[in-house]
Amino acid sequence: MKDLPKKEIISRRGRRGFELAPECLNDLSSVVAFLRTRRSAEPAAIGFPGPDEEQLTLILEAAARVPDHGKMEPWRFIVLRGQDREAFAARVKARWLALHPGEEADRRTQHDLIERAPIVLAVISRITPNFKIPEWEQHLSAGASCLNIVTMATALGLAAQWRSGWLVEDESILRLLGVAENESIAGLIYIGTRNRDAPAMEDRRRPYWRDLTTFWTMPDA
């Protein structure tokens, strides 16, 4: 297995890591190569066009093909697109301004990203309490669904980003989307195409797996 070209990076906290060379990112030559180099799109780089119907089907198919202990299907999906997505963006902006009187809408509002991304997928974590499957496992399954969405979209040559933010906890927004009391938003996935005028994609700092891994051995009696 060849080593990938990388640049050593030290974080502000003094943790060592690396960034892959830009030309290595999202290598689709094989499944192994892709998983070693996968990189989400930067939010500012996402634009039109969005996935076509076949691509969206593949993305949602992957979303439902994740580890699911107990076969509970502890997730569901809401697709926002077209005029309904634009109307949702306007409601998001209005809600943020109501919560922050006297301030102007900015990147924190996230309405601009909703406007620019042709498809917004809300992954809803739906939990069954007091069941034989722990609630934390059900949440993890929804998180796996979010990652599968980003991974499949990227593999299809699309631009995708998984985000959360204030939207996923605001009661007004949750009601607007029809999120029930036993549900929460595991993530909002923004999907489109990388803008032609966007800067070349760069990696973000990644940790060395060896710094985070131990090989357990049986302690002496």
Reported residue count of the chain is 221
Locate 169 and state its tokens. Answer: 């906890």
Residue 89, pLDDT score = 97
Question: For residue 78, which of 171, 145, 156, 141 has the smallest C-alpha distance?
Answer: 145
| Sign of torsion over alpha carbons 135, 141, 147, 153 | negative
Distance CA 64, CA 75 (A): 8
Question: Has this prediction a pTM greater than 0.75?
Answer: yes
Distance CA 45, CA 157 (A): 13
Residues whose CB is less than 8 angstroms from the CB of residue 171 and which lie 6 or more positions away in sequence, other chains included: none
- Interhelix angle 135-155/53-63, nearest 10 degrees: 150
Residue 12, pLDDT score = 87
| Domain ranges within the chain, ordered by starting residue | 40-197
Name the fold adopted by 40-197. Answer: NADH Oxidase (3.40.109)
Which single residue is written with the structure tokens 């119907």?
Answer: 53
Which single residue is written with the structure tokens 């993530």?
Answer: 187
> What one-letter code names the amino acid at 191?
I
Residue 216, pLDDT score = 95
Tens of pLDDT, residue by residue, the chain (221 residues): 889 999 999 988 889 999 999 999 999 999 999 999 999 999 999 999 999 999 999 999 999 999 999 999 999 999 999 999 999 999 999 999 999 998 888 888 899 999 999 999 999 999 888 788 999 999 999 999 999 999 999 999 999 999 999 999 999 999 999 999 999 999 999 999 999 999 999 999 999 999 999 999 999 87
SS3 146: helix
